[in-house]
Amino acid sequence: MLKQDQFVTPLLAWYDKNKREMVWRDRGNAYYTWISEIMLQQTRIEAAKDYFVRFTEELPDIQSLANVPQERLLKLWEGLGYYNRAKNLQKTAKILVEEYGAELPSDYEKLLALPGIGPYTAGAIASIAYDIKVPAVDGNVLRVMMRYQASLEDITKISVRRRVEGELTEVMPERPGDFNQAIMELGEVVCIPNGTPLCDRCPLAETCEAKQKGEPEQYPRKIEKKPRKIEKKTILIYEKDGMFGIAKRENKGLLAGLYEFPSIAGHFNKKELEEKLAEDGIIVKKMQSLGAGKHIFSHIEWHMKGYLIELSPTGKQPELIFASLEEVEDTYSLPTAFRTYREKMRKILNKQKEGGVSEKKGVL
């Protein structure tokens, strides 16, 4: 059982002294709280800061988020991954405009009913923006609690999260937002997930059961993850007069609705690839290997080989959008998975410019 004097009081005192400055923090802005919490679900705080500033400068409120074209929204989200988060943000923004006067409701249950908002996010918005006494339990909070109680429970189970929520609710102080953020902050910078926790800096060390046992890194219990599925892909970067071919993905499945460099399943060397493309009537004039690339999603890994290809005008031409690299980077939302090849193309173009060659003459 948690105690005010042993858990809440020292935790808030530590937070008041050590909390980090965040661009979204201490503004009393529910919109900022919402956007930042959605971004931070799969992104480190340091990485999220610049994305947050860029996003909120262009979309400063719920109305602007509801009205922005989806392609522009996805471009603003580019690099954060898990693009359904951005789509759910807009779905929710439209509901808020229609039903709540373009404001986030100050009610936990109403927040929970909105697309993309689960128990943690609803708790964070309600407590941080509206001072409602509800917990916000994320992975950091669960780790702190399992160590504090020396518990080997499975933190992936809903029953464990609910138990923790109940215990935190019982000791929730008059500063619920600060209390929730204090536990999360402690988990991020002191009771860290990877490596040995920094117990000498922890305000809860004196009453932490895992610390008393001398083995805090043993908690929480490690849950074995399923190995990711490996998918081999050959990335085809078609070039024409300094422009590069991209295609829009289907509006379903992985990376739905985003743009991509076309690809084919499997790995091919140059000769094999020429023969493969010729089967579809595509004739290669020149080809250059761009080497290997890898991208890790939550459940799969793409192992890639890339080629820069100039097509013969006598063969079939793929139905693609041809755009400059500047347009690809500024206008079209390409997943981070293709960043390796965008960077390689940028190096090729920069080298070409240094040599005084116009991009319009082609890259190969």
Separation CA 197–CA 147 (nearest Å): 10
Q: Which of 335, 331, 305 is nearest to 243 (CA)?
A: 331
Q: CA 226 from chain center: how many Å?
A: 21
Alpha-carbon distance of 195 to 199, in angstroms, equals: 12
Residues contacting 25, CB < 8 A, separation 6+: 19, 181
Q: Which amino acid is at 194?
A: N
Structure tokens of 67?
Answer: 């009205």
**CB distance 325 to 342 below 8 Å:** yes
Active site residues: 37
What are the tokens at 31? 């919109």
Q: Is 110 left (phi over 0), alpha (psi -120 to 50) or beta?
A: alpha
